A and B are shown apart, each in its own frame.
Chain A
Amino acid sequence: MSTAIVSGIFSGGLFAIIALGLSLVFGVMRMVNLAHGGLVLLGGYGAYWATENTGRDPLLSLLVVCPLMFALGYLTQRLLLTRLLLRGSELPLVATFGLLLLAQGALTLVFSGDPVSIDASYASTGVSILGVQVRVIDVIGLALAIVLVLGSAAILRWTRLGTAIRAASADPQTAANVGINVDHVYGLTFGFAAALAAVAGVVIAVGLSLTPTSGLVYLTIGFTVVVLGGIGSVVGTLAGGISIGLAQSLGGSAFGPQYQMLTVYVVFLVMLAVRPQGLFGKVVV
């Protein structure tokens, strides 16, 4: 029981990182990014490629992968998605789905459909926390999640850029009127989301494994966390991620490992029915 709780909390870090970019994009642009799982995979495969070719530490590869993913995200938003957003919410939904298929196809083409993972010493070694063995990568995942969530919240609250993003989120028209370049802000937001997705991708590549078709799984985990944590609530994603980690590992230990994901989806549906605004969200609509 205590094993399940501790390992659930630590695996929740990864879920929070997956959800953070999704939550930012949805919170700022009201856009459901179905390609988010694809971005996670692109980042993960990018780190895999860099690590295989340079032999350096996979976390170091983030220094290259994250800026690249940021640029990719920024350009995608500015050249494709912002235009579609102006014409309603269905078109971006469909377009991001197309992007997901594109990422999936491209990754299968380059890396084949077989699962790959990055060999790193901290994937197999563990540390003892409260008498429970936890893998070092899960500790890193939770630490990254805390830093990224709090960092994002701080940027949104206390910087000029954060103020601009919040203004563009609250009312893009008025924000544009007072001189905020909303197109640019949207691009930056999607770029951030893509870079954050890449971080999640690296943690997955080291701790679990990557397959080109698993984008939808990460997307759903991300959505579950977002719904649980409260839509548009950045700090909520951390709580949501840890809750999902707990649900998964407690469900698995209570009913058997094959029930892990089912427990997550049931929690998701119950939340949707009982409290769609999330644990920490305010009532929107």
Chain B
Amino acid sequence: MRKWHLGAQLTFVAVLLIVLVRVPLTTSPGMQTTILTLLMYTGLTSAWNIVGGFGGQVSLGHSVFVGIGAYTTAMLLLHSSAPLLAAVLCGGALAAVAALVSAPLLLRLQGAYFSIGTLGLALAALAWMQVWDRTGASRGLFIPFASIPSLESIYYLALVVAAATLAVSAWLAKSAFGLRVMAVRDDEQAAAGLGVPVTRTRVIAYVISALLTGLMGSVIGLNQVAITPDNLFGLDWTVAMLVMAVVGGLGTVWGPAWGAFAVYYLIQYQLQDHPVASTLLSGIILIAVVQFAPRGLGPSLGSFSRRAGATVLRAAASRRPETPAPAAHETVGS
């Protein structure tokens, strides 16, 4: 059963990758941009999920890493002859360094205090970027036209970063390190008692998350061209990551992808001419998910389909379709 599950997952991933790799060859530029945005949100949300989901620490400051990635890339392309790929990698690296530097301040804060601290840091960074002359203050930066890659290249960069982020999540879900991260989330003292280095585990997870967020931030910067504090350091990015992760399923591998699809494609994209309706609906969905499906849509859909499947199978096996076997329903579900 388990082996079959793994095989099905790998097949699904392979097919998905082939489809996504072929997108620029087969679809219109409009569709390509939509899928690019979806990849960006999936990558960001999945990176946030490493700290917020697997680590159980709700960060309200991840916009900082998006901004650092984008600004670093833009500065390098403006003021040096660094090749594109190096500029993108530096964006991720500097975000990771920022996480490492802020870790002593933030990671000793527990629960809600961590959220407040990261929010304060994000607003401080935004306020700083608005007055820092070196990066053009509130006017921001323009990436030189000659260094902007084609839409296709940006698409493949986003695909690689998103795939890498999901791969890291898959590794976290199975690996010893991932188990340590989740153990610290579930019971810090018990984990420490069993010899898990609590602080080091938290710091590493935080830095990995920042690195991946920063890499995607670099790609987002390339795509936006005009790099302003509000566009890149704005809290909208954090809001998107939090909402999508919660809607899709905190601490799961595929949840962020589900969440990005549900929130971006099904709500924001369809309502792009009605931003107010989109905000309202995001709020309602967030409350509804927390209230009725606190594990997120991904796991809830998964267990619903498993339960439904099991019910159908049992009904078919017993050849008594007139009794839908509520007892079986419950035992399989739990």
Contact = CB atoms under 8 A, between A and B. Distances in A.
Interface of B: 56, 58, 105, 109-113, 115-117, 119-121, 123-124, 127-128, 130-131, 235, 239, 242-243, 246, 250, 276-277, 279-287, 290-291, 294
A251 B284 CA distance: 39
Nearest to A270: B105
Contacts of A30: 112
B130 A258 contact: yes
Contact of B287 (A80, A216, A285): A80
Contacts of B250: 90
A91 B290 contact: yes
A174 to B, nearest CB: 22
Chain B interface main SS type:
helix
B124 A102 contact: no
A101 interface: yes
A268 B124 contact: yes
A18 interface: no
Interface residues of A, number: 44
A115 B105 CA distance: 36
A21 B138 CA distance: 33
Interface of A: 26, 30-32, 80, 83-84, 87, 89-91, 93-95, 97-106, 108-109, 216, 219-220, 223-224, 227, 258-259, 261-262, 265-266, 268-269, 272-273, 276, 285
B279 A262 contact: no
A101 B280 contact: yes
Contacts of A103: 283
Given A109-B280, A259-B131, A32 B116 contact: yes
B126 to A, nearest CB: 9
A98 B131 contact: no
Contacts of B119: 219-220, 223
Contacts of B117: 269, 272
Nearest to A263: B127
Contacts of B123: 220, 261, 265
Given A32-B112, A108-B276, A262-B124, A272 B131 contact: no
14 contacts: A84-B290, A95-B286, A95-B290, A101-B282, A102-B280, A105-B279, A105-B281, A109-B280, A220-B123, A227-B116, A258-B131, A261-B123, A265-B123, A285-B110
